[in-house]
Structure 1
Amino acid sequence: MMQKKLILDTDLLDITIRRLCQQLIENHNDFADTVIIGMQPRGIFLAEIIHRKLEQDTGKTILLGYLDATFYRDDFRRRETPVKANETRVPFIIEGKKVVLVDDVLFTGRSIRAAMDAMIAFGRPATVELLVLIDRKYNRELPIAADYIGKVVNTLTSQRVLVELEAQGHKQNKIWLINKD
């Protein structure tokens, strides 16, 4: 039996995203040297929402890319079934840019480490910041921390965080904590 507990409902999620955007605006001003990169597969939906909101709020054009780190993962060759890669679309050079890497959930830190390796193909950024909707505390395997956090959630390894966004085809934006019993 699976138990679901609502972490963020539609309204709270909207407030959380607005707060994250305000923090980005405070730190990046006009976004002249800043790019946003969403991590495939699920971080791109959040990146698109944040990108759209930032462009509305600032009136500036902000570069947006998608990054797939599948082949950079340290567990890539250890899987039973081959992993299917997603599209990487970074149609700009990140050399000297401030990169805001966006993902939905920060868990062990391994995906972020892989993303940083994958990013180097597009140049050497001036800085890399991490924005996540959910930071799963106590599950980190690598020393990786987010700069912008929607919500910190204490989770067990046996639990799963499920992010449902309208952009992914769900009826409402909601985030759940699922107990796998």
Structure 2
Amino acid sequence: MEKKAIIMDESAMNRAIARITYEILERNRGAEQLCIVGILSRGVILAERIARKIYELEHVSVEFGALDITPFRDDRTAEETKSAKSTIHFPVQDKRVIIVDDVLYTGRSCRAAIDAILAIGRPQCMQLAVLVDRGHRELPIRPDYIGKNVPTAQSETVQVSVQEIDGTDCVAIYQNS
């Protein structure tokens, strides 16, 4: 893969996360009954940052968890879906669940996340926050909160890098060979 462009640097990512957090708080009238669930792996890091920002703004600790969607994916065989690394140690029943992912593409990961959450309880509502929406949906999934809309070709890949995993914060577009 050949890097085409960096579309978000560290400061742009921080601004997007802050904006998403403000929008979440505004739409939900504060942090009451909120919980944040990040999709493994980079969605978890972004969700953690949103949870920290909510604490900074509201002085309220929202419940936070990591969601492994592997067992709920529709593109894997039964042997490949045995992984279950979710760490959601709180009830989602009657909560306002914010699902966080790094890149929204076809919508299949989000559908799997919805199924995974419904398998553990029935929330009051679920909302979707993504850092990058690149289009090309295959399912009727629409994010509630978007850091950046990036129209892409299907021959391109959007890669989110986070300090905690990759040593840097940025979003880049790559051209597939």
User: Does the alignment reach a TM-score above 0.5?
Assistant: yes
Instruction: Determine the structure 1 residue equivalent to 2:132.
Output: 134
Matched residue type, 2:94: G
Residue 84 of structure 1 and its aligned partner are, at CA, apart by 7.2
One-letter code aligned to 2:107 = G
* Contact map agreement 1:41 1:86 (CA 8 A) in 2: no
TM-score in terms of structure 2 length: 0.94
Residue 108 of structure 2: aligned partner: 110
Task: Write the deviation string for residues 48-83 of structure 1: whole angstroms up to 9, x where unpaired.
Answer: 1111111111100100011111011111119xx946
User: Could you tell me how far 1:180 is from its partner in structure 2?
Assistant: 1.2
Does structure 1 residue 144 correspond to structure 2 residue 141? yes
Which amino acid is the alignment partner of residue 144 of structure 1?
I
For structure 1, the residue ranges without an aligned partner over 5 or more in a row are: none
RMSD of aligned Cα (Å): 1.7
Give, as a single letter, the amino acid of the residue that structure 2 aligns with 1:31.
A
User: In the alignment, is the contact (CA less than 8 A) between 1:40 and 1:86 conserved in 2?
Assistant: no
Q: Are residues 1:178 and 2:174 paired?
A: yes
1: CA distance, partners of 2:82 / 2:88: 19
Work out whether residues 37 and 100 of structure 1, in 8 Å CA contact, stay in contact via their aligned partners in 2. Answer: yes
The offset of 1:113, in angstroms, is 0.5
Distance 2:28 2:62 in 1: 11
Contact 2:42 2:162 in 1 (8 A): no
Distance 1:76 1:114 in 2: 12
User: Identity of counterpart residues, as a percentage?
Assistant: 37
Report deviation, 1:119.
0.7
Q: What SS class does the counterpart of residue 122 from structure 1 fall into?
A: coil
SS in structure 2 of the partner of residue 12 of structure 1: helix
- Aligned ranges 1:24-35 → 2 under 5 Å: 24-35=24-35
How far, CA to CA, are the matches of 1:174 and 1:26 in structure 2?
Answer: 26
Instruction: State the 1:28 CA deviation.
Output: 2.2
Matching residue within 142, 154, 159 for 1:157? 154
Cα contact 2:51–2:61 (8 A) shared by 1: no
Displacement over 2 Å in runs of 4+? 81-86
Find 1:85's aligned residue among 83, 86, 110: 83
Question: Does 1:51 find its partner at 2:51?
Answer: yes
1:91-139 per-residue CA deviation (whole Å, 9 max, x = no partner) reads: 11111111100000001000111111111122101110000000012x1
Distance (whole Å) between structure 2 residues aligned to residue 114 and residue 40 of structure 1? 12
1:90, 1:122 within 8 Å by CA — same for their partners in 2? no
Farther-moved stretch of structure 1 (98-107 vs 19-28): 19-28
CA distance in 1, matches of 2:59, 2:72: 35
Which residue identity lines up with residue 174 of structure 2 in the other structure? Answer: I
Q: Give the conservation status (yes or no) of the 8 Å contact 1:30–1:60.
A: no
Asked if the contact 1:160–1:178 (Cα under 8 Å) also holds between the matched residues in 2, the reply is yes
